[in-house]
Chain A
Amino acid sequence: MKDSIRQEIEGKRREFMELSRRIDGLPIGPVRMVLKQKRNAITGQINLLRQMLIKEELKSDNPQHVPKIHLPTKMYTGTLK
């Protein structure tokens, strides 16, 4: 269960990064706006998956810390905003 949630989070994280890469190269307009909305929605999904993972960890005998998932949006500067 925990592993499948972790895998799902990793998949969403990759999707987020891929969208960020596409958004960076797009001119201002409706297409970029839709992609940004999609990217924002992924942050909410990752948030819920992390909550599920925290709950699963708390149920186990030896609960592990669930690290925050970093989702950088400004790839080219290399800084997290």
Chain B
Amino acid sequence: MAAHDHLVVLSPALTMGAATLTLDGTSATLQHSCDLVEDTVWGDTFKQRLVSLQDYQASFEALIDYTDNELDEDLDSLMGTTFAFAFRPTSSATATTNPEYQFTGGISSLQKAFQLGQIAKVSGAVMLTSGTLVRDVTP
């Protein structure tokens, strides 16, 4: 039986354009979806569906870093552009056991939360804008 390769999330690598969240990030969610359009007709006993368009989006959360040329400024400069998104589960080199998910996308929302007595956080969502998702396993 093959060995299982499960993962505790400790040090993923996430870059968006020239911005890196690797040292400030706390959470990331990648969502790959596919429309299934119904084509059920008279005579069917089960609902029938056709595979249609796929979509890819990602969301992230990080602690704000206001250092010059760091996260906050880098994220602000992503707004209004399409850029390269890349995420891999650990920051070690890309491999079959550590695939990198890459796509070209844009930020659809960016929220910054400042709550009294709490650490300042930034979160946002990125959607694929052109091309496809690449699941890269080559170093």
Q: Which residues of A contact B (CB under 8 A)?
A: 20, 23, 28, 33, 36-41, 43-44, 46-48, 50-51, 54, 65-68, 71, 73, 81
Contacts and interface: CB of A to CB of B under 8 A. Distances in A.
A43 B136 contact: no
B56 to A, nearest CB: 13
Interface in B18-34: 18-20, 22
Most buried by A among B18, B79, B129, B138: B18
Contacts, number: 70
B130 A43 contact: no
B78 interface: yes
Interface stretch (B1-9, B43-51, B80-88): B80-88
Interface of B: 16-20, 22, 68-69, 73-74, 76-84, 94, 102-105, 129-132, 134, 136, 138
B125 to A, nearest CB: 16
A39 B82 CA distance: 10
